[in-house]
Amino acid sequence: MNTHFRSYLFVPAASIKIMDKALNSEADSIIVDFEDAVALAEKEASRERAKSHLLSRQNEKTVFIRINDITTPFWKEDLEAAILAGVSGVIVPKAENAGNMQVICQTALYYLNKVNRTPDSFEVLALIETARGVHFAYEIASSHYLVKRLVFGSIDYSLDVNCELTPHGTELLFARSQIVNASKAAGIDSPVDAVYPDFQNEHGLKNEAERAKSLGFTAKLAIHPKQIPIIHDTYTPTQQEVESALEIVKAFEEAEQQNIASISVGGKLVDYPVYKKAKAQLQFLNREGEQKVW
């Protein structure tokens, strides 16, 4: 499974009604939350109810499940339920080291094999939300081939390091950059940025989404369907960006045929790094089917 999503919408497993609203929303994918959104006494009942409901609505939208973390007694049953429900993957909270990720991934392979599902039909996304998680982000990202993407959890991270969340986001610059760099170094997909908790503040969401995009994030978590249009607008290349990339690729390839590797396009220098970036963007768009450009 090699699919890029711009948005991941959280929905509590305890509410079938809200789950249905999420499944019918414009979000690229949804995350059914077995962790923070479910009270301890409701964990097992919510898990079974969500599993049955997701089985009845398979293939309507790409679904992930956030399981409980590995230090709890719930994670194995959560993981098995996710695989039995046919979802596309799980989000692992409090991802802090490679060893725990390997245990979770090997357990996932065991359950996948039991129901004759292939490993390429399932993804494990590691939620980085502590200082240890940020510190060991590369080891987590490269821990197992099922780990396809890192996800940033800024609220828990800010609590862990005792920093104050601000509108300009400077306090999260190191963590975000570390997660992006670790993802690239490990050769996995670009990471998913954190939720923006004030779903009434569209301007704040837009600013944060653009800030994360500038650092290398290509998607964002959401907590309300009204956040989806802004997230999609931010993480979808504009027509102007597509046309500029096409112009760069076309001009450079024509120059390269004449043994020229440094040209000017629109008054800007274009050499191999600039060409490769434009080429990668066009290949990404073609692969995802968001916009055919060849």
Question: Which one-letter DSSP state was computed for residue 68?
Answer: P
Does a structural domain hold residue 249?
yes
Nearest to 130 by CA among 108, 153, 98: 153
pLDDT of residue 204: 96
What is the span of the domain harbouring residue 82?
7-235
Q: Looking at the structure, tell me whether residues 180 and 246 fall in a common domain.
A: no
Which stretches of the chain are assigned E, i.e. beta strand? 7-12, 29-33, 62-66, 89-92, 123-128, 147-152, 192-193, 219-222, 263-265, 268-270
Q: Looking at the structure, tell me whether residues 186 and 281 fall in a common domain.
A: no
The one-letter amino acid at 3: T
Q: Looking at the structure, tell me whether residues 38 and 138 fall in a common domain.
A: yes
Q: Looking at the structure, tell me whether residues 227 and 262 fall in a common domain.
A: no
Beta-ladder partners of 264:
269
CB 154 within 8 A of CB 192: no
Does a structural domain hold residue 87?
yes
In the predicted structure, residue 3 carries a pLDDT above the cut 90: no
Show which of 216, 235, 254 is a domain's final residue: 235
Q: Looking at the structure, tell me whether residues 146 and 260 fall in a common domain.
A: no
Q: Looking at the structure, tell me whether residues 70 and 132 fall in a common domain.
A: yes
Nearest to 8 by CA among 135, 266, 25: 25
Residues 123-132: what's their mean pLDDT?
98
Pairing of strands 268-270, 62-66: unpaired
Lowest mean pLDDT among 3-17, 74-88, 154-168, 180-194: 3-17
> Is 156 assigned a ligand-binding role in the annotation?
yes
Residues 225-237: what's their mean pLDDT?
93
Q: Looking at the structure, tell me whether residues 215 and 257 fall in a common domain.
A: no
Q: Looking at the structure, tell me whether residues 153 and 249 fall in a common domain.
A: no
Question: For the domain that residue 172 is a member of, what is the CATH number?
Answer: 3.20.20.60
> Is 129 assigned a ligand-binding role in the annotation?
yes
Nearest to 231 by CA among 5, 4, 2: 5
Does a structural domain hold residue 83?
yes
Mean pLDDT of the chain: 91
Q: Looking at the structure, tell me whether residues 117 and 179 fall in a common domain.
A: yes
For 50-84, write each residue's pLDDT tens digit: 999 998 887 778 999 999 999 999 999 999 999 99
Rounded distance between C-alpha atoms, residue 210 and residue 197, angstroms: 16
In the predicted structure, residue 243 carries a pLDDT above the cut 50: yes
CA angle 57, 124, 56 (to 5 degrees): 10
Does a structural domain hold residue 55?
yes
Rounded distance between C-alpha atoms, residue 205 and residue 237, angstroms: 18
Number of domains in the chain: 2
Does a structural domain hold residue 12?
yes
Distances (CA, A) of 181 to 2, 64, 96, 273: 20, 24, 16, 18
CB 232 within 8 A of CB 213: no
Distances (CA, A) of 94 to 35, 133, 150: 11, 7, 12
Rounded distance between C-alpha atoms, residue 181 and residue 178, angstroms: 5
In the predicted structure, residue 162 carries a pLDDT above the cut 50: yes
pLDDT of residue 1: 54
Q: Cβ of 71: how many Cβ atoms within 10 Å?
A: 9
- With bands split at pLDDT 50, 70 and 90, how would you rate the model's confidence at 230? very high
Rounded distance between C-alpha atoms, residue 196 and residue 228, angstroms: 11
Rounded distance between C-alpha atoms, residue 151 and residue 59, angstroms: 24
User: Residues near 112 by Cβ (< 8 Å), separated by ≥ 6?
Assistant: 83, 118, 119, 121, 122
Q: Looking at the structure, tell me whether residues 204 and 244 fall in a common domain.
A: no
Does a structural domain hold residue 1?
no
Distance of CA 145 to the CA centre of its chain: 16
The total number of residues written for the chain in this structure: 294
Does a structural domain hold residue 293?
no
Does a structural domain hold residue 146?
yes
Six token digits for residue 256: 């390269």
Q: Looking at the structure, tell me whether residues 219 and 254 fall in a common domain.
A: no
Q: What is the pTM of this model?
A: 0.85
For 252-276, write each residue's pLDDT tens digit: 888 888 888 888 888 888 888 888 8
Q: Looking at the structure, tell me whether residues 213 and 264 fall in a common domain.
A: no
For 9-66, write each residue's pLDDT tens digit: 999 998 899 999 999 999 999 999 999 889 999 999 999 999 999 988 877 789 999 9
The 3-state DSSP class for residue 228 equals helix
Q: Sign (positive/negative) of CA torsion 211, 213, 214, 215? A: positive
